[in-house]
Structure 1
Amino acid sequence: MAESDSAYLLVSRVGGETERVCVHQEEVSGHDRARLLEAAVGTKTVHLCRGGAGWEGVALKYGVCENLRKLEITGVSCRDVYAKCINPRVKSGRFMKILPDYEHMEYRDVYTCLLHRYRHILGLWQPDIGPYGGLLNVVVDGLFIIGWMYLPPHDPHVDDPMRFKPLFRIHLMERKSATVECMYGHRGPHNGHVQVVKKDEFSTKCNQTDHHRMSGGRQEEFRTWLREEWGRTLEDIFHEHMQELILMKFIYTSQYDNCLTYRRIYLPPSHPDDLIRPGLFKGTYGSHGLEIVMLSFHGKHARGTKITGDPNIPAGQQTVEIDLRHRIHLPDIESLRDFNELSRIVLEVREQVRQEQQQEGGPEDAEGLGRQSPQPCAEPPAEQAKGPGDGGAEAAAEPPAQSGQGQPFVLPVGVSSRNEDYPRTCRMCFYGTGLIAGHGFTSPERTPGVFVLFDEDRFGFIWLELKSFSLYSRVQAAFRNADAPSPQAFEEMLKNIQSLAS
C-alpha cells in the first residue's frame, strides 16, 4: 500500500508513548477499526456503569449499540479517521479528528442528555427552502445524532443510489452536556444550534456562518456547489434555460446558510392490495433535473407528492394522480410509436372520466380520498364503468405480481425523455393526470397522461400535453422513525405540506 493512500492513527498510550499506526481510510471496516483502536489504546480497562436493564430497550428503540465502547467506534465514518486521545491530544495532519473521552460516560447520560432530549427530531423531515424542499433524515449514529440531507443522483441517472451529506450533528463532548455542530460548508464542524419548536417541527441555526465561505468567493462556492449538485461545470450545460434555473437555485438556497426550519414527513402506509409498495422515488423533471417524489395509495387512486420541487411545481404539491379504475391497454408496438394514436386513446378515457364525474355529481367516491387537491383535477368516477380505452374493473383489479411477463413498450416518436435507458417492457398502464404550471406556480392545471408500471421499483409518466416522459426509480434506503402513527396522521401530513406549498 502506497504512503499516499494511507492515513495514520496517532494513539497516545497510558504511559505517554505515542504509536503511529498506518491504516487505509477507505478499506478499513468499522469492525477492523474497532480492533485496531482496541489494540492501539493498550491495556487500560474501561469501566462502564450500566444504567439498568432498561438500556437494552433504549438501545433497540434508538438503533444504538449495546456497548458504549462500541458506540464510540461505530460513530466513525469510513472517510474520517478518528483518534481517541487520552493525554495529550495529538493530530495526524488533515485527518485529525478528536473524540471526547468516554471512559466515565454512563448509559443514563447517553439517554437523558442525548437520546431523550433530542428524541423529537429523529426521523424524516422536509426543510422549508421555498419551492425546492428537500429530504432530511435524522438518525442516531453511535454517540452522535446526525442530520443527513438526502440528494438525488446526478441527472439523468435515476437508477443510481441517493447521495447524502451531513448538515448538523449532536454529541456528548462532556458528561451531561450535548454539543450541536453545523456541518455545512467545507471547513469542518463548527458551532450550531438546534431548537425543537414542537413535536413535528424544529429549526437549525449556524452560529459561525463564516465557515461556509470559501477563499475564492462566490464564484468558487458556485463552482463547488455545481459539481456537487449536478456533477458537471456550467460550461458542460449548453441549454441556456437550464443554466438560468441552476443559477437561480444556487442563489436562493445558499442564502439560508443552514438556518432552516424542518417539518416532519412520514412514509406512506402500505396495504396488501396496493399496486406496488409505496414509498420514495427519484424522478426526472426535464431541465429541473432529478426530484424526489412520494408515491402513496388512497383507495382507487395513487398520488405522487413532491418532496423536492422547483419554481414551476414546488415541493409539497401533488405532481401526478393515477386513476387505478381506468386501465389503459396500449396498442401494438408499431402503433404505440404514433403519438396521435396514444393521444386518441388517452383523450377517450379522459372524456369517459369527465362524463362519469358529472353523473355522480362530484369527484369523490363513497370510500373518500381523505383530502382534495386545490388544483383543478380530473378525479376518477364513483363507480367502475367499462368503456373504450380501459380494461374495466376486472383488469384494474388484477394484481401486478400476477400480470404475466408484461408487454413491449416504447415511447411514441416526438416524446422527449431525459433518460433513454428506460425499460422496454411494462406490466400495465393507467390513466392519470399531471400537474403543470408556469414559473412561480402560476396558472396551475392538471393535464392528461399515462402512468406506466414497469416493475416493483420503477414506473413512468407520459405527459401528453408536454410530449415528455418522466422515469421514476425507487429510493433504496431504510429509514427509521419514519412510519406514520396512523393513516389519518399521514393524510394530515400530506395536507399540511401541500398547504404550505400553495
Structure 2
Amino acid sequence: MVAVTQTGQEECAGLCSAGPSRECRCPQQQRGPADREPDPHPEEEHMKADAEALFCAGSRGMVSPKPTPRCSLQDLPPELLVEIFASVPGTDLPSLAQVCTKFRCLLSHDSIWRRRCWEEYSLGENLQNLKVMGVSYREVYAKLLHPYRHILGLWQPQVGPFGGLLNVVVDGLCIIGWRYLPPHYPHVNDPMQRKPLFRIHLTEKKSAVVECMYGHRGPHSGHIQMLKDKFSTQCNQKDHHSISDGMQEEFGEWLGEEWERPLEDISQEHWEQFILMKCIYNQYDNCLTYHRIYLPPSHPDDFIRPGLFKGTYNVNGIEIVMLSFHGKYARATKITGDPNIPAGQQTIEINLMHRIQLPVVQNLINFKELSRIVLEVHEQVSLEQQQEDRTGDSEGHSWQSPAQPNVGPPTEVREPWAAARQEQPVQFVLPLGVRSWDQENPRTCRMCFYGVGHFALYGFFNPQHIPGVFILFDEDHFGFIWLELTCFVLYSRVQATFQNAEAPSPQAFEEMLKNIQSLTSGS
C-alpha cells in the first residue's frame, strides 16, 4: 500500500474525524503523491469536500465536520437570561427552575413574574401596592392567578329559568365575580347594574381565600369548586342569604341597597321580585353552578354587530338576550329568562332571506295592513319549508337543529345588506293597538325582516313559534313585533365591556349555545 503523507493524514482526520489508527477511504489514503493527476477544477473539489463535511455523519467511512465550540444557555449574561425568561409562559417557568441552581436563582427576580402577570392576566399593579401587602408578583401569580385561571370569563348561573350574567375578572390584586343586572324597568336604554358576587384575594399569610359578597351582613366566607367549563360557588354562612322570621326589615334594607333605591321607593312590583329572590335562594341553598358562555363572533357582512342586548318583557321586567348570526338566520337567545321562556332558549329567529318592506306611515298605523304583509311572507316561508323537507335540504332551519358555524350570511343576501347600509332611514311608527312597554321608541328604522317569536305558557308549557317582524333601528337598537300577541319589544345594546369572553372558535360558540339550551329544554 502506498504510504500517506503527514499532510494527507491531517486533512483526512479533519474531514472524517478518524485518526491515523482508523481506516479511511479518502482518495489521499489510496493514492500517493506520485500517482495523483493535476486537478483541472481545484475549486469544485474543494466545494465538494466542504459539502461532504457538512452532510456526512462521520461513521462508516463518511466524513464529518470538525467540532465547533458551542455556547450554552447557561453561559449567557444574567440580565439577558432574565429578559428571555420573562417572555416564557408562566406555566413553563417551574421546569426552567429545575435545570440548574443559576436558573432557579434568576427566576426569583420579580420583574419576570411582573411581566407574566401583565401579559397573561393584564395585572398592572405597581410595586408599591405589593410592598404594602407584603407579597411579590411571583406569589400573586402562583397562589392567586394561576390556580383560579379557569374561572376567568363570562358565565351564566343555573338558577332554574332565570339565568343571569357573571363576568369573572382580575381586578387589582383580587379576582372578582361581577354580576350584571338589567336596568330598572322599563328604562331599557339605561346602563347595566354591576354588583360583586364573590372575591378571591391573598391574606397576610399569603394564601388565597374566597369571600361571598352577596347577601346581607357581608362579606362572608365562601368556597369555589372548579370543573371543566363550569364552576360552583357556596357561601359558608347560608343564614345571610335567606329571610328568617323577624329579619324582613333588615333584609329589606339590604335589598334597597342592591337596587340603589331608598327602601320607601321600592314599589310593590319590586317587593314581588324580592319574594321571588327569596324562593330562588331557598331552593338552591346558595350553592350555584355557572356554565361558561361566549360572546358571539362577528362577520364583516353582518348587518348589525352581534352581542348582548336588553329587552323589555312586560311584567318580567328587562331581560338580556344574545344576538348571533347563523348562515341564513339570526337568533336571539335568552341569557336571563322567566318561567315562560327560560334562559338558554331562543326568543326570536330572523329569516335573513325574507326582507319586509314596511308600508308608508299612513298605512303602517293600521295593524291589519302590517299583519297582511307579514302573513303573506309567513305563508311563502311555510311553502319553502315544505319543499325543503321533501328534498331533504332543510339544514339550519329548525329551532332544534344544530346551529351552523357563523361563516357569514349567504352570498345572495350580502348584496342587499350592503345596499341597505346606504339607504336612508325610513319613518317608523308603532301600529295602533300594539302594546309597547318602552315609552320612547325610535322614530326611524333601516330594514325589516320576517321572523318568528317564541311563546309559551307559564312553566315553558306548550311552546309555539308565532310570526312577527324584526325591525333594525340602528347599530344599537332593534325590535320585534309579535303579531298574535300584538306586542312590541325594544332591544338596546349592552354597552359594558366583558373580559375573557371571546369564543376560541365559531364551533366552540355553537357548542356553547347548544349546551345552555339543553339545560332548560326539559323545564
Q: 2-side partners of 1:296 and 1:400: how far apart?
A: 21
The residue type paired with residue 494 of structure 1 is L
Once the 2 structures are TM-superposed, how far is the Cα of residue 334 of structure 1 from its aligned partner? 1.1
Of residues 374, 390, 400, the one that matches 1:374 is 400
Q: Which residue of 1 aligns with 2:368?
A: 340
**Higher mean C-alpha displacement, 303-312 vs 217-226:** 217-226
How does 1:66-465 map onto structure 2 within 5 Å?
A: 66-70=125-129, 101-103=132-134, 105-196=135-226, 198-212=227-241, 216-218=246-248, 220-221=250-251, 224-225=254-255, 228=258, 247-253=275-281, 255-256=283-284, 258-361=286-389, 368-369=395-396, 372-374=398-400, 397-399=416-418, 402-465=421-484
State how far apart, in whole Å, the 1-side matches of 2:420 and 2:136 are: 51
How has the CA–CA distance of structure 1 residues 202 and 51 changed in structure 2, closer, same or farther, with 3 Å as cutoff? same
Change (3 A) 1:443 1:71: farther
- Against the structure 1 CA distance between its residues 259 and 249, is the aligned structure 2 distance closer, same or farther, given a 3 Å change threshold? same
Question: 1 or 2, which has the higher helix percentage?
Answer: 2
Report the TM-score, using the length of structure 2 for normalisation: 0.72
Deviation at 1:426, TM superposition (A): 0.3
Post-superposition CA distance 1:103-134 (Å, at most 9, x none): 3x121111111100000000000001100000
Q: 1:154 to 1:232 in 2, by over 3 A?
A: farther
How far the C-alpha of 1:319 sits from its partner, in A, is: 0.4
Deviation at residue 396 of structure 1 after TM alignment: 7.1
Unaligned runs of at least 5 residues, structure 1:
1-48, 73-100, 378-382, 385-391
Distance 2:284 2:268 in 1: 28
Identity %: 61
Q: What is the distance in 1 between the residues matched to 2:223 and 2:266? A: 38
With over 3 angstroms needed to count, the CA separation of the structure-2 counterparts of 1:249 and 1:178, relative to structure 1, is closer
CA offsets, 1:19-67, max 9 Å, x none?
Answer: xxxxxxxxxxxxxxxxxxxxxxxxxxxxxx7435353143132121152
Distance verdict in 2 for CA 1:109–1:322, change over 3 Å: same
SS of alignment partner, residue 484 of structure 1:
coil
1:494 is matched with 513
Q: Which amino acid aligns with 1:340?
A: K
Q: 8 Å contact 2:352–2:413 — kept in the other structure? A: no
Distance 1:395 1:344, change over 3 A: farther
2:113–2:138 contact (8 Å) kept in structure 1: no
- Partners in 2 of 1:425 and 1:498 — Cα distance? 34
Relative to structure 1, is the Cα distance of residues 363 and 281 closer, same or farther in structure 2, using a 3 angstrom cutoff?
A: farther
Q: Aligned partners of 1:217 and 1:183: how far apart in 2?
A: 19
Q: Indicate conservation of the 8 Å contact 1:276/1:400, yes or no.
A: no
1:193-218 deviation digits (Å, cap 9, x = unpaired): 1110x220100010012334679523
Which segments of 5 or more consecutive residues in structure 2 lack a partner in the other structure? 1-107, 404-408
Q: Secondary structure at the match of 2:110?
A: coil
Matched to 1:480, the amino acid is Q
SS at match of 2:138: helix
For the Cα contact (< 8 Å) 1:127–1:134, is it kept in 2?
yes
Q: Which residue of 2 aligns with 1:90?
A: none
1:434-458 C-alpha deviation (Å, 9 max, x unpaired): 1000000000010001100000011
- Deviations 1:264-318, CA, capped at 9 Å, x for gaps: 0001011111111111111111110000000000112100000000010000000
The counterpart of 1:485, out of the listed 504, 508, 511, is: 504
Change (3 A) 1:356 1:231: farther
- Matched residue of 2:133: which SS? coil
Residue 132 of structure 1 contacts residue 311 of structure 1 at CA under 8 Å; is this kept in 2?
yes
Change in 2 beyond 3 A, CA 1:61/1:244: same
Greater strand share, 1 or 2? Answer: 1
Structure 1 partner of 2:82:
none
Q: What is the CA–CA distance in structure 2 between the aligned matches of 1:235 and 1:480, rounded to whole Å? A: 34
State the alpha-carbon separation in 1 of the partners of residues 432 and 367 from structure 2.
6
Whether the aligned pair in 1 keeps the contact of 2:157 and 2:163 (CA below 8 Å) is yes
SS of the equivalent of 2:310 reads strand
Q: Secondary structure at the match of 1:399?
A: helix
Partner of residue 63, structure 1: 122
Tell me the TM-score normalized by structure 1: 0.75
> CA 1:234–1:418 in structure 2 vs 1: closer, same or farther (change >3 Å)?
farther
Measured in 2, the distance between the counterparts of 1:461 and 1:176 equals 53
1:176 CA drift (Å): 4.0
Contact 1:167 1:258 in 2 (8 A): no
The DSSP-based 3-state class of the residue aligned with 1:65 is coil
Pairwise CA distance, 1:498: 0.3
Contact 1:404 1:427 in 2 (8 A): yes
Point out the structure with max Rg over C-alpha.
Answer: 2
Q: Deviation of residue 256 (structure 1)? A: 3.5
**3-state SS of 1:264 partner:** strand
User: For the residues of structure 1 that align with 2:119 and 2:433, how far apart are their CA atoms?
Assistant: 54
Question: 1:475 maps to what in 2?
Answer: 494
Matched with 2:104 is none
Q: Which moved more, 1:141-150 or 1:399-408?
A: 399-408
Cα deviation, residue 186, structure 1? 2.9
Check conservation: 1:326, 1:396, Cα contact below 8 A: no
What is the RMSD of the two structures over their aligned residues, measured on CA atoms? 3.1
Query: How has the CA–CA distance of structure 1 residues 174 and 270 changed in structure 2, closer, same or farther, with 3 Å as cutoff?
Result: same
1:230 Cα deviation after fit: 9.6
For the residue of structure 2 that corresponds to 1:313, the secondary structure is coil
Separation of aligned partners in 1, 2:174 and 2:420: 41
| Conservation of the 8 A alpha-carbon contact between 1:186 and 1:212 | yes
Alignment of 1:7-22 (within 5 A): none
Q: Which amino acid aligns with 2:231?
A: F
Query: What is the distance in 2 between the residues matched to 1:362 and 1:69?
Result: 71
Compared with structure 1, are the counterparts of its residues 252 and 423 closer, same or farther at alpha carbon in structure 2 (3 Å cutoff)? same
Post-superposition CA distance 1:388-417 (Å, at most 9, x none) = xxxx95697322772322100011001111
8 A Cα contact 2:113 2:141, kept in partner: no
